[in-house]
Amino acid sequence: MIFKLGELFCGPGGIAWGATHADIGNPNYRIVHQWANDYDADTCKTYCKNICPDAPETVYHADIRTFDMSKLMPKPIDALAFGFPCNDYSVVGEQKGMDGVYGPLYSYGVKALKLFKPQWFLAENVGGLRNANDGRAFTKILSELRDAGYVVTPHLFKFEEYGVPQARHRIIIVGIRKDLDVEYKVPSPEPYKDVDNTCRTALEKPMPKGVANNEPTKQSARVIERLNYIKPGENAFTADLPEDLRLNIRGAQISQIYKRLDPDKPSYTVTGSGGGGTHMYHWSEPRALTNRERARLQTFPDDYVFEGSKESVRKQIGMAVPCRGAQIIFEAILKCFAGISYPSVDPNINE
């Protein structure tokens, strides 16, 4: 069974890469790209270049709030993925939830489910989604997904437990259409417990000659001096800094500002924006990581080329779903449809 995948808020293609590379050992069960949409032009270019270079017309650069999805009806889908914008649900932000600009955008995923009636869907968002609007937002979203005709299974994935070299926690909601005799089960992290997921292993592998998106960040002498006092795993507030190098910022002691990676652990969460001190820092070299190194922590292959300016690429990488993590989840879905058993765990989110 070949599933044609449609994507909303597709990003640079982390979900799509995981979907199209999902392999359960049976070529009759696989996922292929059908169409995708995103509001950011550079993101769409990146997606086209890496996911569907021979069919760029299948990627629609448009704001979903004004895009006429009925135009896609001649291109039916069997599956839908949507990583709806997390800005208003992230614990890093103000957590406006449904009251923010981005909070209600999940509803376009619900609209697409009702319009296309795919056999299954995958929705992704940050862990903070559970707490937005005192939990009411999450309850509302799940209710609307069920009302669209799906049995839904929400689970908070800790991707570092699945071999990803990054501590990244995301809610993944998988839905199977109610009329289908298929039950999705959350894949267990147990098969990945012996995978080396340290950021040292991810980043020390030599970079291919001429690899894209690997431009270094220019560090000021002051930043270099500050970093030389910060040990692996420490940040600008936990390190023993001289008075003249300390940051005069209150309430940020638990932040990731000028935090250096611990080479013997997965990295902390890759983010897509932020000012000075938020670019992620090497454990031994006094410098920020390059975009290519951040992409490795997100498990993008080295030949995955990101389009746009350096800051645009940083944003794309930070907003993506780890390729390998997505692949594991899609393989579990394919196995469910193929009737293949696999190690699973109970969902860890109580509704």
Q: Which two tokens stand for residue 55?
A: 């069919």
Q: Which two tokens stand for residue 286?
A: 């006094």
Q: Which two tokens stand for residue 95?
A: 């957590």
Contacts of 288 (CB under 8 A, 6+ apart): 217, 219, 279, 280, 281, 282
Rounded CA-CA distance 335/323 in Å is 18
- 228-235's contacts with Cβ under 8 Å and 24+ in sequence apart are 228/286, 230/258, 230/259, 230/260, 230/281, 231/260, 232/260, 232/261, 232/262, 232/263, 232/283, 232/284, 233/259, 233/260, 233/261, 233/262, 233/265, 233/283, 234/259, 234/260, 235/259, 235/260
- Quick one: CA torsion of 49, 53, 56, 59, rounded to 10 degrees? -60
- DSSP states of 31-59: EEEEEEEES-HHHHHHHHHHH-TT-GGGE
Q: Which two tokens stand for residue 108?
A: 């376009």
Rounded CA-CA distance 80/146 in Å is 15
Whose structure tokens read 């950021």?
A: 199
| Catalytic residue positions, numbered | 86
